[in-house]
A and B are shown apart, each in its own frame.
Chain A
């Protein structure tokens, strides 16, 4: 049946589905970081110092935890779209009470704040299609990306800024496919300029490159691009406090086994180091194996640390690229992703579950968290831990199967 639906209608239906989610579902992060980005319109350049100095006066007191390019992109979008946001948008952003969702304009603001994500979403679809070897693969990639439910939920309900670095990671891998390695390195650096996690991939990309000189050049260009993007802000103590000690970097060191004398074995580092050495020893990987390795890097991270649900977006395009080659992994991948989604929904955080309906009605905020509901029956931490263990175990098997050389089944 899908073959009878034209490409045009596939994309139109995909956009329509997104339109019925984006304005009506809400997660607090989008308001927080847009509030912070709104100061760009007032000429604030160093948002980190500004927020630290004015913390007592500001209605929302969180730090801006992303890198500067995110601030400029978000603030720039608000500046361009000012006529559509209207004059009350900044007041809406700064309203710290429980009543802001009841204000006129809420649905318009949510749609407009998520509109860049729609554009990037379609751009990622456009780029993923380029990886397809034939018409069937191209169509499968397009359908997977446009209609997989997890991407819809992550982008249009939880809507974090992760979609920006995800776009540049895919661009980087595409440039690698086209053998434009310097550009690929630069794009990986740009991805890291939004959030640091793309740099996790760098050690695992290097074995794919031809020779030592290329490896060194690739590393330098990626890092230099990233460092240049943050260099003007490095002297700012507020910037260093807010961004360089991120949730990801510290949590990689949390999951550890005490071996005495003050030393620990760190589980994520063990797994990533093992993967790194295996990767390095393997004779030159092809691109599809490199993509599978990158997917496994992120799955190991999710499997071994406490993560935010929005981070799951990192793997989605890589999942598309792996599944188009190894369709037999579909059940395995989706079952692991299903459990991976359940873990954060079980957190004691209403914003992740029923709170996403609060733009429709504030009455949904009166519901208990899933954590509280489960607590009446069983220890939710045990359930989270079991699920997390399943995710890690399943991820290792995904990696093993994805890295096996063989025909698609």
Chain B
């Protein structure tokens, strides 16, 4: 009997835990990271700059994907966020903790009034050399409207559209993340009506089998 109730409790706890975990989501993405189509190295004096317009207040993270070939880089990579000519946030990560192709999030103190403001992201790795440089993924998606000009060593880089980045903001209300998760879940369910019908159908069939005696003989084999 204890296993029976434990199992039912487990399923309930699994679902309820999702609600509790949602309160741990303190940063929400502003948009989906675009496709990753090529890379550009960042090392020494070569800095990569990306203009972008923040979507929400409380901008708190920038996420990019980084190539660290053969895990050779164990040096710092620095993100500086510029508002005009003023650096307002600086975050340092280290190649020692960056696996090849990994999505890396640069977290910083939220910028409170960031909605619709233009910022410049600058990536630099002054202690890295060409031989052990990290490489930042770029995108060629032309409809990546959040991004402005891309500069490599102060020159416009037109071969690709932008750095393949995404930004995050801290939600103003604690329940925002939970609301988004529930909305996300319902949206995903809603995309496959066939699954919903089939799922409910299976439950209905099982309940029917439970009510009727027609199939009892098959269950006796478990005796």
Contact = CB atoms under 8 A, between A and B. Distances in A.
Interface of A: 1-2, 6-17, 19-21, 23, 25, 97-99, 101-108, 111, 125-126, 129, 135, 138, 142-144, 146-149, 152-153, 354, 357, 359-364, 366-368
B119 to A, nearest CB: 21
Nearest to A122: B222
Contacts of B116: none
Given A17-B7, A149-B6, A360-B181, A366 B25 contact: yes
A255 B96 CA distance: 26
Contact of A103 (B180, B184, B191): B191
A390 to B, nearest CB: 22
Contact of A107 (B7, B11, B192): B192
B25 A364 contact: yes
A354 B195 contact: no
B120 to A, nearest CB: 25
Contacts of B6: 147-149
Contacts of B155: none
Given A142-B222, A149-B6, A367-B25, A102 B188 contact: yes
A366 B18 CA distance: 13
A148 B7 contact: yes
B112 interface: no
A183 B107 CA distance: 60
Contacts of A1: 1
A8 B21 contact: no
B222 A126 contact: yes
Contacts of B202: 19
A105 B10 contact: no
Nearest to B212: A8
B209 A17 contact: no
B84 interface: no
Contacts of A102: 184, 188
Interface of B: 1, 3-4, 6-8, 10-11, 14-15, 18, 21-22, 24-25, 27-29, 32-33, 35, 103, 168, 177, 180-181, 184-185, 188-189, 191-192, 194-195, 198-199, 202-203, 206-207, 209-210, 215-216, 219-223
Contacts of A148: 3, 6-7
B24 A367 contact: yes
Contacts of A104: 188, 191-192
Contact of A12 (B33, B103, B206): B206
Nearest to B4: A147
B18 A15 contact: no
Contacts of B221: 126
Given A107-B195, A360-B188, 14 more contacts: A7-B222, A12-B210, A16-B203, A17-B7, A17-B8, A17-B11, A19-B203, A104-B192, A107-B199, A125-B222, A364-B25, A364-B181, A366-B29, A366-B168
A4 to B, nearest CB: 11
A97 B180 CA distance: 21
Q: Which of B7, B22, B33, B103 has the most A CB atoms < 10 Å from its CB?
A: B7
A21 B10 CA distance: 10
A99 B191 CA distance: 14
Contacts of A144: 3
A14 B7 CA distance: 9
Q: Which of B22, B188, B194 has the most A CB atoms < 10 Å from its CB?
A: B188
Nearest to B28: A363
A88 to B, nearest CB: 10
B11 A11 contact: no
B188 A107 contact: yes
A322 B206 CA distance: 32
B222 A11 contact: yes
Nearest to B218: A8
Given A7-B222, A149-B6, A23 B184 contact: no
Nearest to B168: A366
A25 B14 contact: yes
* Nearest 7 pairs of A and B residues by beta carbon: A104-B191, A147-B7, A147-B3, A361-B184, A361-B181, A108-B195, A8-B219
A286 to B, nearest CB: 24
Contacts of B168: 366
A361 B21 CA distance: 11
